[in-house]
Structures are given as structure tokens and as C-alpha cells.
Amino acid sequence: MTGDREARQASWNQTRGHLDAARAHLTRLPDIELSATLEFLEHNELGLAIDCLVELADDLDLPLSVWQHLDRAAREMRLYSDALHRPHLTAADFCRRHLAAASEQE
């Protein structure tokens, strides 16, 4: 049991690190409201936090590194496998779109 708990905590820490890195970039932009995202992070609601960050970021021309952090968080949370079973676009879908668009520009 302790190993499972430690693995979950390590995964949470990695996910949180990626979400914090993406959020840090957004804090430098004018007129971006991040209070809801911060509240979700403070309450360990990582799924809601990534949804908020992706929604905010989707309308902005952000550097690839932001989308890479969001992508890594989505992977750590296993959102890509969940996305296959949902009829609507998810945060993971938007991460994939932005990463694909950035790779086409290179």
C-alpha cells in the first residue's frame, strides 16, 4: 500500500509541476484571470485545473513549451486514453492539436 501511495504522490507532484509551469507563463500575460485555476490546484483538483488552463491557452498564441507542459500533465493524468471514450473535445484533444500545429510550423 505504501508503494502505491508514494507512486500516486510522485505522479501528482509531476502533474502539478507541469501545470504550475504552464500557469506561470500565463501569469505574465495581461488580463488573464487565473484565480479559478489556482483554487483548483490548491484543492488538488488537477483535472479541473488542466481544463481551465487549456481553455485559457487555446485562444492565445503561446509558445510550444506551454503546450508541452500541458501535454505532459495530460499524459501523467492519463487523459489521452480517457479522451478516446468521450464524444466531445477534451483538454487532451486541445493539447494534441496545438502540439501538432507547432510541429507543422517547424
Task: Reply yes or no on whether the pLDDT at 4 is more than 90.
Answer: no
What's the whole-number average pLDDT of the chain?
86
Domain ranges across the chain: 2-105
Task: Reply yes or no on whether the pLDDT at 87 is more than 80.
Answer: no
Nearest to 45 by CA among 88, 92, 77: 77
Residues 66, 70, 76, 77: what is their CA dihedral angle, to the nearest 10 degrees? 160
| Model pLDDT, residue 82 | 58
| Model pLDDT, residue 97 | 83
Its pTM surpasses 0.85: no
Task: Reply yes or no on whether the pLDDT at 83 is more than 60.
Answer: no
Q: Residue 98: pLDDT band by 50, 70, 90 thresholds?
A: confident
